[in-house]
């Protein structure tokens, strides 16, 4: 079996700054992980959740899981696990998104795909008082898996460093309000996201 579009939701982080696994923290009427899975389903017909263990997915509802491979640290583990899964499905590309960015643009996949061309990866960036990279939002070629594994074996774990080594390109979204790629990393971030969620009328906050 081969697939055309695959989206991997990166949910394996410990979420220490939020007091626990962030995918299980509520935002509005659902948990962050549920928002991310729903968003991923709008971006691609095939969706998997990348986690460290089964417990990180408890309560999120039915979802296909990919477990972080041993020996790979940080969000890079979810990317590697997702690319291994993508290879198994014979997908040419794998989109990764974080579980803590509920307002990602609807054209994320299309914009990254248009920028990819012959590059091993295309990452999202925003233009708001300067350009800011969003390395968790990247469209990866599955062919990038071997160099990513070599990078991981050096003990490095930075997605930004891996993308730099791969000489990945960028697709830039204007984001004057600074909301589109809003990451929720702390309880303060979550409180801000709840206010934005209520302001946009996206559900009970």
Q: What average pLDDT does the segment 84-91 reach?
A: 94
The answer to whether 151 touches 161, Cβ cutoff 8 Å, is yes
Q: What average pLDDT does the segment 69-81 reach?
A: 91
Structural domains in the chain plus CATH codes: 6-199 (3.90.550.10)
Q: Give the model confidence (pLDDT) of 38-61 as tens digits.
A: 999 999 999 999 999 998 888 888
DSSP assigned state of 129: S
pLDDT at 205: 38
How many Å apart are CA 111 and CA 170, to the nearest integer? 10
How many Å apart are CA 99 and CA 201, to the nearest integer? 20
How many Å apart are CA 59 and CA 145, to the nearest integer? 31
Q: Identify the band that residue 131 occupies on the pLDDT scale cut at 50, 70 and 90.
A: confident
The answer to whether 92 touches 142, Cβ cutoff 8 Å, is yes
pLDDT at 103: 92
């Amino acid at each position: 079996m081969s697939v055309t579009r695959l989206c991997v939701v990166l949910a394996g982080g410990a979420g220490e700054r939020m007091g626990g696994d962030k995918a299980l923290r509520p935002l509005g009427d659902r948990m962050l992980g549920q928002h991310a899975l729903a968003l991923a389903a709008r971006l691609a017909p095939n969706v998997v959740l990348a986690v460290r263990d089964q417990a990180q997915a408890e309560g999120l509802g039915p979802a296909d899981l990919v477990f972080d491979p041993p020996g790979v640290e940080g969000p890079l583990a979810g990317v590697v696990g997702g690319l291994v899964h993508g290879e198994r499905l014979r997908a040419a590309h794998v989109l990764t998104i974080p579980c803590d960015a509920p307002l990602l643009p609807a054209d994320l996949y299309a914009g990254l795909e248009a920028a990819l061309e012959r590059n091993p990866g295309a990452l999202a960036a925003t233009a708001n008082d300067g350009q800011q990279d969003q390395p968790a939002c990247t469209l990866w070629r599955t062919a990038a898996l071997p160099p990513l594994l070599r990078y991981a074996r050096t003990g490095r774990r930075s997605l930004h460093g891996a993308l730099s080594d791969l000489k990945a390109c960028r697709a830039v979204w204007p984001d004057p309000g600074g909301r589109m790629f809003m990451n929720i990393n702390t309880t303060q971030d979550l409180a801000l996201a709840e206010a934005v969620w209520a302001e946009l009328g996206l559900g009970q906050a």
